[in-house]
């Protein structure tokens, strides 16, 4: 499978999608025979936490309210996740996803907390927040009403989503949607990515497509490195994160970035 951003689906996104699908199938098989107890035990709720079901802030992420719910979350992760994972590395990306989901769920408990919450939406919004922090000026296309395509910069899209979620949350017309989890998830994901950018200055400049790097290096008349080696370096970034590159590997990517004329991706 190929992500629209190029480079193919990444390991972390693949495993998370697999867990989401597996969790939903198990839920569909067991929820009705257990009379709703499965959702109570593994969804997120105040009564459940009071009974000592401390795993709920994690397990609720992999349950969903229906096929449309998991489909929307899965597509969002598929389109936004790989690019974010390549910048952060698989381990940090998975940590981003799970942390945003857990913090988003706890935020929902503190702000709303009525009924049982299920779904990866808080974690997905965390990935969106991180994406906006990493690539604020990247054009992103949103399908309004699933039909009308609207393209805007990533930071504008995420800001509009945050305002929209806040408005619905404060209006008291949230219904069965966990707007608090969405909003807290965005903030958690954005803050996580901003923290990493502060600790590893410039690491976000490597979050471009594999094809883009190879094309830039091939344009160098005196290129001393093969496309295969750059491919290996980018695989290393995707698996372990930019902080694990050697000085030589960093230098190669920095030279390619300078060839672009911008010093990095904004």
- Active-site amino acid positions: 121, 182
Which phi and psi angles does 117 have, rounded to 5°? Answer: -100, 135
Angle at 139 between CA 201 and CA 105, to 5 degrees: 70
Q: Which long-range contacts (CB under 8 A, 24 or more apart) does 93-96 make?
A: 93/10, 93/12, 93/13, 94/12, 94/15, 94/16, 96/126, 96/127, 96/130, 96/189, 96/192, 96/193
- As given in the structure block, the two tokens for residue 216 are 């830039």
Cβ atoms of 123 and 104 closer than 8 Å: yes
């Amino acid at each position: 499978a190929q992500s629209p951003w190029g480079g193919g689906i990444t390991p972390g996104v693949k495993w998370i999608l697999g867990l989401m699908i597996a969790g939903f199938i198990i839920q569909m098989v067991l929820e009705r025979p257990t009379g709703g107890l499965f959702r109570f035990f593994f969804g997120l709720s105040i009564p459940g936490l009071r009974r000592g079901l401390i795993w709920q802030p994690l397990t609720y992420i992999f349950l969903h309210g229906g096929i449309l719910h998991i489909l929307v979350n899965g597509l969002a992760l598929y389109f936004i996740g790989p690019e974010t994972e390549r910048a952060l590395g698989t381990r940090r990306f998975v940590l981003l996803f799970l942390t945003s989901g857990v913090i988003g769920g706890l935020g929902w408990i503190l702000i709303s907390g009525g009924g049982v919450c299920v779904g990866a939406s808080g974690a997905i919004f965390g990935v969106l927040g991180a994406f906006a922090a990493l690539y604020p000026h990247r054009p992103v296309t949103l399908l309004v009403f699933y039909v009308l395509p609207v393209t805007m910069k990533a930071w504008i899209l995420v800001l509009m989503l945050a305002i929209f979620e806040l408005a619905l949350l404060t209006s008291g017309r949230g219904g069965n949607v966990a707007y608090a989890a969405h909003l807290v998830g965005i903030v958690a994901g954005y803050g996580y990515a901003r923290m990493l950018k502060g600790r590893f200055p410039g690491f976000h400049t490597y979050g471009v497509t594999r094809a883009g790097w190879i094309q830039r290096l091939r344009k160098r008349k005196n290129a001393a490195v093969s496309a295969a080696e750059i491919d290996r370096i980018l695989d290393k970034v995707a698996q372990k994160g930019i902080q694990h590159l050697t000085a030589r590997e960093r230098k190669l990517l920095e030279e390619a970035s300078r060839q672009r004329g911008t010093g990095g991706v904004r």
